C-alpha cells in the first residue's frame, strides 16, 4: 500500500482553547487538520470536574460578555453565558457595597443588540435569580452617601462611574499606546482618590488578572478594566469545560486524537511518544508555555501566577444573590467568591448550593480552614457546617504579563512552524482564542488556502491506533 506524502495539512499540538479554535478555523477553510492532545480529554486548563451532580471548575475563571473572541470564534454559537449581577460586591469594614454597576449594566445593554453569543446572555439574564442590583445613577444625580463605603465620597463614586464609562468606549489602540508601568504603580500615578484605588481598583484588578501584587503591565490592566467596563462578568453555563467542548464538537469527527504526547516537531512532521511520526505540511504548537519551550527550544518561558480554587456546598447559602464578592480590606486569602449555583444553577444538584472561592498566589497552609474563616466574615454567616467538595491548586495557572508585555508575540516562527497559546497574547481564554485566530490566519496565508485543500481524512491514514 502506498502511503500519502503527508497525513494532514496541519498538525496542531494541544487541544486547549488556542489549539481547538485554530483547528476550527483551519478545517472551516478546507485544510485537513489533526489535533494531537497528550491528556485523556480536551480543554487543557479549562477543566471541570464532575462530582455528585456538582460541576467544579479547576479555574476561578471570570469571562466577560465583552470578550470579542468569545463571540467571533466559530463553534461557540451555542455557548450560554450566565452573568453575575452588574459590577461587583465589595466587602469593607464588615459591610458590603456594590461598585462598578453602572459600567456593568451598560455592558449588558450593549450586548443585547450585538452578536449571537450576546443573545444567549440575554436569555440567561431573564431567567437568572435577581439580587437587586443597584440601578444606574441618573445623569447629574449624586448617589446617597454610604458610611464606610470603600469607594470614597459620593462625588468620587460618580467620577469613577464616568471614568469606567469613558474607558469602555476607548479604542484599544489608544490604550496600548499609553506609557507602560507595573499596574500597581500606574494606578498610584493616575491622580485617583486613594479610596477608589485601594477599595475598588486594586481588588478588582487582582481578581481579573489573577495578580495580587499588580505587577502586570498597566496596558494589560487597562485592557482588563476596559473589558469589565464594557460588559458583564459571566460564567459559561455548565462549567468552564463547555467552551473547549463546544469547539471540539464543531470539528470534523476524528480531528482530535487524545492520549497522544508529541515529543518533537519540525516544519513537516511531529513525532509522538506513542504513535510514531505524523507527516504534514505545517505544525502549530498550541500547548502551555512550558511544554511549548520543550518542543521549541529558545522560546521564552514566563513566570506564572498560582491559583487555588476551593469549592464548598451548603443547603443554606448566604443571601448575596448572583454577585461576585471581593474583599476590599484583603483580610484573608480569598480574592473573590460567589454562590456560583445562583449564577449558573446547572452546577449544583437540586437543594444544594455551590460556593466557589479563588485564592491568588501561594496558598497558606491549611488553605481550606483559612478560606472558611475568611468566607464567614465575607458572607456574615457561619461556614462551620459547609462541606468542602474540592481544593484545586494549579501552580502554573496564568502566565505573568510584566511590563513591557507584548500582547501580540509572533505566532509564525518559520514557514511551516507556528506557535499559539495564552503565552503569545494576553493570559486567559480571550488571549488563547485570539492567538489561535492569529496563528490560523498565518498558516492559511502560507498554505495559500482558499477553501479546497487536501481532503483526505487525516486520521484514517495515520500511524495512530
Ligand X SMILES: Cc1cc2nc3c(=O)[nH]c(=O)nc-3n(C[C@H](O)[C@H](O)[C@H](O)COP(=O)(O)OP(=O)(O)OC[C@H]3O[C@@H](n4cnc5c(N)ncnc54)[C@H](O)[C@@H]3O)c2cc1C
- Rule CB under 6 A: say whether 398 interacts with ligand X: yes
Q: Does 18 bind ligand X (CB under 6 A)?
A: yes
Q: Number of residues in contact with ligand X, rule: CB under 6 A?
A: 37
Cβ contact 96:51 at 8 Å: no
Nearer to ligand X, 172 or 188 (CB): 172
| Contact status: 87 vs ligand X (CB under 6 A) | no
- Taking the C-alpha atoms of residue 310 and residue 328, their distance in angstroms, rounded to an integer, is 20
Asked whether the beta carbons of 421 and 287 are under 8 A apart, the reply is yes
Taking CB under 6 A as the criterion, the residue among 8, 11, 13, 343 binding ligand X is 13
Among residues 277, 284, 293, 281, which one has the least CA distance to residue 19? 284
Whether the bond into 404 is cis, omega within 30 of 0: yes
Q: Which of the ranges 39-47, 71-79, 194-202, 367-375 carries the binding residues for ligand X, by CB under 6 A?
A: 39-47
Can you tell me the distance from the alpha carbon of 145 to that of 154, in angstroms, rounded to the nearest whole number? 6
Q: In what order do the strands lie in the sheet with 304-314?
A: 95-99, 88-92, 325-327, 334-339, 353-360, 304-314, 387-399
Cβ atoms of 290 and 396 closer than 8 Å: yes
Instruction: Please choose, out of 347-355, 404-412, 428-436, 442-450, the segment that lies near ligand X by the rule CB under 6 A.
Output: 428-436
Check binding of 44 to ligand X (CB under 6 A): yes
Contacts of 283 (CB under 8 A, 6+ apart): 10, 11, 13, 265, 266, 267, 268, 269, 270, 416, 417, 418
Q: Decide if residue 427 touches ligand X (CB under 6 A).
A: yes
Q: Can you tell me which of 9, 198, 245, 288 binds ligand X, judged by CB under 6 A? A: 288
Burial class (CB in 10 A: 0-12, 13-18, 19+), 176: middle
Here's the x/- map for ligand X, 338-377, by CB under 6 A: it reads as ----------------------------------------
Return the SS3 of 363: coil
Helix (H) or strand (E) holding 419: strand 417-419
Q: What are phi and psi of 71, to 5 degrees?
A: -90, -30
Identify which range of 91-99, 137-145, 163-171, 286-294 contacts ligand X by CB under 6 A. Answer: 286-294
Identify the residue among 89, 103, 262, 325 touching ligand X (CB under 6 A).
262
Q: Contact between 160 and ligand X (CB under 6 A)?
A: no
Q: What string marks each residue from 402 to 421 as x (binds ligand X by CB under 6 A) or -?
A: -------------------x
Please pick, from the candidates 25, 45, 405, 454, the single residue that binds ligand X as defined by CB under 6 A: 45
- 214 is an interface residue for ligand X by CB under 6 A: no
Among positions 24, 62, 411, 449, the unique one binding ligand X when judged by CB under 6 A: 62
Q: Which of 10, 17, 242, 367 binds ligand X (CB under 6 A)?
A: 17
Between CA 357 and CA 334 the distance in angstroms is: 6
> Does the footprint of ligand X cover residue 291 (CB under 6 A)?
yes
- Give contact residues for ligand X (rule: CB under 6 A): 13-19, 36-39, 44-46, 58-62, 210, 261-262, 286-288, 291, 307, 309, 394, 397-398, 421-422, 427-429, 432
Amino acid at each position: 500500500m502506498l502511503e500519502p506524502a503527508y497525513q494532514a495539512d496541519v498538525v496542531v499540538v494541544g487541544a486547549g482553547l488556542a489549539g481547538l479554535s485554530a483547528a476550527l478555523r483551519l478545517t472551516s477553510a478546507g485544510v485537513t487538520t489533526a489535533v494531537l492532545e497528550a491528556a485523556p480529554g480536551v480543554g487543557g486548563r479549562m477543566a471541570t470536574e464532575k462530582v455528585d451532580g456538582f460541576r467544579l471548575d479547576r479555574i476561578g475563571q471570570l469571562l466577560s460578555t465583552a470578550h470579542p473572541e468569545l463571540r467571533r470564534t466559530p463553534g461557540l454559537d451555542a455557548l450560554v453565558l450566565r452573568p453575575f449581577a452588574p459590577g461587583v460586591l465589595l466587602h469593607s469594614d464588615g459591610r458590603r457595597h456594590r461598585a462598578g454597576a453602572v459600567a456593568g449594566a451598560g455592558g449588558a445593554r450593549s450586548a443585547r443588540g450585538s452578536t449571537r453569543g450576546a443573545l444567549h446572555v440575554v436569555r440567561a439574564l431573564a431567567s437568572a435569580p435577581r439580587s437587586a442590583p443597584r440601578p444606574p445613577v441618573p445623569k447629574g444625580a449624586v448617589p446617597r452617601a454610604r458610611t464606610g463605603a470603600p469607594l470614597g465620597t459620593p462625588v468620587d463614586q460618580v467620577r469613577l462611574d464616568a471614568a469606567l464609562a469613558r474607558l469602555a468606549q476607548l479604542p484599544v489602540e489608544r490604550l496600548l499606546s499609553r506609557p507602560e508601568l507595573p499596574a500597581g504603580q500606574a494606578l498610584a500615578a493616575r491622580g485617583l482618590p486613594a479610596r477608589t484605588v485601594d477599595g475598588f481598583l486594586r481588588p478588582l484588578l487582582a481578581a481579573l488578572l489573577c495578580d495580587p501584587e499588580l505587577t502586570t503591565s498597566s496596558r494589560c490592566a487597562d485592557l482588563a478594566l476596559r473589558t469589565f467596563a464594557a460588559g458583564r462578568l459571566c460564567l459559561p453555563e455548565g462549567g468552564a469545560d463547555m467552551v473547549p467542548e463546544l469547539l471540539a464538537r464543531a470539528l470534523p469527527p476524528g480531528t482530535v486524537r487524545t492520549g497522544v504526547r508529541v515529543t518533537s516537531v519540525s516544519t513537516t512532521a511531529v513525532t509522538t511518544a506513542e504513535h510514531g511520526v505524523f507527516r504534514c505540511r505545517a505544525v502549530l504548537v498550541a500547548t502551555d508555555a512550558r511544554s511549548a519551550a520543550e518542543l521549541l527550544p529558545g522560546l521564552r518561558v514566563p513566570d506564572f501566577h498560582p491559583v487555588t480554587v476551593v469549592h464548598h456546598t451548603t443547603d443554606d447559602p448566604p443571601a448575596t444573590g448572583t454577585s461576585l464578592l471581593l474583599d476590599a480590606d484583603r483580610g484573608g486569602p480569598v480574592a473573590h467568591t460567589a454562590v456560583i449555583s445562583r449564577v449558573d444553577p446547572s452546577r449544583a444538584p437540586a437543594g444544594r448550593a455551590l460556593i466557589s472561592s479563588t485564592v491568588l498566589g501561594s496558598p497558606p497552609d491549611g488553605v481550606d480552614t483559612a478560606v472558611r474563616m475568611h468566607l464567614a466574615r465575607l458572607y456574615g454567616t457561619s461556614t462551620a457546617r459547609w462541606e468542602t467538595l474540592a481544593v484545586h491548586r494549579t501552580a502554573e495557572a496564568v502566565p505573568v504579563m510584566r511590563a513591557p508585555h507584548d500582547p501580540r508575540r509572533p505566532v509564525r516562527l518559520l514557514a511551516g512552524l507556528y506557535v499559539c497559546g495564552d503565552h503569545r497574547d494576553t493570559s486567559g481564554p480571550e488571549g488563547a482564542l485570539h492567538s489561535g485566530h492569529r496563528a490560523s490566519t498565518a498558516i492559511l496565508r502560507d498554505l495559500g488556502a482558499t477553501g479546497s485543500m487536501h481532503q483526505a481524512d487525516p486520521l484514517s491514514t495515520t500511524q495512530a491506533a
